[in-house]
Amino acid sequence: MSFVQKEPLVGEMELIGARLNQARLTANLALHEIADRTKISLRFLAAIENDDFSALPGRVYIYGFTRAFARAVGLDEESVVAALQEKMQLAGIEQPVIRHPNG
């Protein structure tokens, strides 16, 4: 799987990595502090901030690491992950979640 978000997708104002970076800077945290808090490699955190999701080992890691990063910088992790899922769907990487009508 290869997914590098180089520009905002349809209707979007900012990149996910830029949003996480801005929240980290607003919280006055260095990337290594996020690595210490989340136990995620600096290399992967830098890739997320650079919107280079192809540098992560797989879809589960993309979502898990992005969720943990968002939580560490005080963002609503569910909205960040939902935005990421939407981007991946628009890029043709992720299939939409189909909910069963009975639950």
- Name the residue type at position 21: N
Q: What residues does each domain of the chain span? A: 16-90
Report how far apart, in Å, the C-alpha atoms of 90 and of each of 51, 55, 69, 103 are: 15, 19, 22, 25
4 phi/psi in degrees, rounded to 5: -120, 120
Write out the DSSP string of 41-62.
-HHHHHHHHTTBGGGSS-HHHH
Quote the pTM value.
0.78
- Name the residue type at position 33: E
pLDDT of residue 101: 56
Report the distance separating Cα 83 and Cα 70, nearest Å.
12
Q: What is the dihedral of CA 43, 45, 50, 51, to 10 degrees?
A: 120
pLDDT in tens, the chain (103 residues): 455 555 544 444 468 999 999 999 999 999 999 999 999 999 999 999 998 888 888 889 999 999 999 999 999 999 999 999 888 887 777 655 544 455 5
Task: Look at the domain 16-90 and name its fold.
Answer: 434 Repressor (Amino-terminal Domain) (1.10.260)
